[in-house]
Amino acid sequence: MAEAARWEQPVAESERELIEKAQRGDREAAEALLVALEPLIWRTCRALLPPGEDVEAAVQEVMVKVLKGLRSFRGEGPLAPWVARIAVNHSRDLLRRHRILSFVPLTNPHDDEEDPGLLPLPAPDPDPERVLRAKQGVSRVVSLLQKLPSRQREVFVLRFFAHLDLPAIAEALGGVDVGTVKTHLHRALNRLRPYVLEAWP
């Protein structure tokens, strides 16, 4: 079996400085990191948690875990895969607790705001009709994800909603092999294809 992939892209200097300050107890630096990372946490939890789950509470719980774990973060790569791993594991815990595996439409309260942090969001589309069509399309795709096994869903969400690349996804899922991530993504896309063709004849 190939050696587990590592996410080796250097941390951006501004992010590194914030991490080091937060690790020394700088509250403002810690808050700046959380503001930057909240959209990633929100997208991941919102896409993975079942209907009726308190997503806001889950996001806050993940943020607490991130703060507590910052002291052990070694800075070998950017925060995103590390934080995504915390969010995925927390979502798994909630799913096991409720024994429910389902998805809900992805929405983000920050979509209409300028993201001042390290994980910028795309600029809002000036065409309201196009925005509406895009949101309807996202809702259809997310509803189709209910048909996927849990690991394929996690890979799909981290790739297309959290916007991580394959090495980062491998790191977020506990250092699995990149080839395994590719396999899960390929199988997810193949499983979804007939349902997509049915939904968009």
Tell me: pLDDT of 8 over 70: no
Residue 155 in domain: yes
Q: How confident is the model at residue 4 (pLDDT cuts 50, 70, 90)?
A: very low
Q: Which of 35-44, 142-151, 157-166 has the lowest mean pLDDT?
A: 142-151
Number of domains in the chain: 1
- Check residue 16 and give its pLDDT: 86
Residue 1 in domain: no
Q: Which of 3-12, 25-34, 189-198 has the lowest mean pLDDT?
A: 3-12
CB neighbours of residue 194 within 10 Å: 10
Give percent of the chain with pLDDT exceeding 90: 37
- Check residue 148 and give its pLDDT: 84
39-64 residue pLDDT tens? 999 999 988 887 667 889 999 999 99
Residue 8 in domain: no
pTM above the 0.75 mark? Answer: no
What's 177's domain CATH number? 1.10.1740.10
Enclosing domain of residue 147: 13-199
Residue 3 in domain: no
Q: How confident is the model at residue 101 (pLDDT cuts 50, 70, 90)?
A: very low
Among 52, 38, 48, which residue's Cα sits nearest to residue 158?
48
Residue 104 in domain: yes
Tell me: pLDDT of 103 over 50: no
Residue 189 in domain: yes
Average pLDDT score over residue span 76-82: 84
Residue 6 in domain: no
Vertex 121 angle, CA 169 and 45, to 5°: 50
Residue 161 in domain: yes
